[in-house]
């Protein structure tokens, strides 16, 4: 089986006006979604030996999508932290994609097991026109998922990933999941 060409993107960093976009911020203001996502993404990419996009945080969403579509990848993931008063991990995938669902299921399972957080499951989110809600999933050419690792505004979630060690654990969980769901699938 050919090796799947995977790319991982760091969520946020720059908004469409070219300003710094931290994404969501922890309750005490100390932790920024973009900065934690950057560490988690780095560890996941190291585990997989795959390519990375937006590690310097200079690409807005449009720029990340453009870079994904220019790279000839088979699979892309945008890595985020959730906010809004929940707890646990969830992953969005392109509606109707069995590969996307398999990857999303596996990522949720691995993050939930290795960090000991709630598994909120693989999800599809559509807009009012019945298309995928997230631009990163809707406008990218390869099979794409959006990973909401844990909630940055939930202290018990944040405690699991606020250290370098926690980011490594989370990143490697994503790496193992993609290895199982994409690289070694069917072997």
CB-nearer residue toward Zn ion: 82 or 99? 82
The secondary structure of 7-63 as a DSSP string is: EEEE--EE-TTSSEE--SB-TTS--BHHHHHHHHHHHHHHHHT-EEE-TTS---HHH
Q: With contact defined as beta carbons under 8 Å apart, do 186 and 1 qualify?
A: yes
> Residue 32, interface with Zn ion (CB under 5 A)?
no
Find the shortest distance in angstroms from Cβ 22 to Zn ion: 10
> Residue 11, interface with Zn ion (CB under 5 A)?
yes
How many C-beta neighbours within 10 Å does residue 168 have?
18
Q: What is the DSSP letter of 4?
A: P
Q: Given the rule CB under 5 A, which of 21-29, 57-65, 67-75, 162-170 is the region that contacts Zn ion?
A: 21-29
Q: Given the rule CB under 5 A, which of 3-11, 42-50, 116-124, 137-145 is the region that contacts Zn ion?
A: 3-11
Residues 66-85 binding Zn ion (CB under 5 A) are: 80
CB closest to Zn ion, residue no: 80
CB-nearer residue toward Zn ion: 23 or 171? 23
């Amino acid at each position: 089986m050919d090796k799947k060409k995977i790319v991982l993107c760091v969520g946020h960093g720059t908004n469409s006006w070219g300003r710094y976009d931290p994404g969501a911020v922890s309750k005490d203001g100390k932790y920024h979604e973009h900065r934690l996502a950057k560490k988690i993404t780095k560890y996941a990419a190291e585990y997989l030996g795959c390519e990375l996009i937006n590690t310097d945080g200079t690409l807005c969403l449009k720029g990340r999508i453009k870079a994904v579509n220019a790279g000839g990848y088979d699979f892309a993931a945008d890595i985020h932290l959730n906010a809004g008063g929940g707890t646990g991990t969830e992953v969005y995938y392109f509606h109707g994609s069995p590969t996307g669902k398999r990857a999303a299921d596996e990522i949720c399972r691995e993050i939930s097991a290795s960090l000991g957080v709630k598994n909120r499951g693989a999800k599809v989110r559509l807009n009012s026109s019945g298309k995928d809600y997230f631009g990163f999933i809707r406008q990218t050419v390869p099979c794409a998922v959006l990973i909401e690792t844990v909630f940055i505004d939930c202290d018990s979630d944040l405690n699991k990933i606020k250290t370098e060690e926690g980011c490594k654990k989370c990143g490697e969980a994503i790496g193992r999941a993609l290895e199982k769901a994409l690289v070694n699938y069917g072997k």
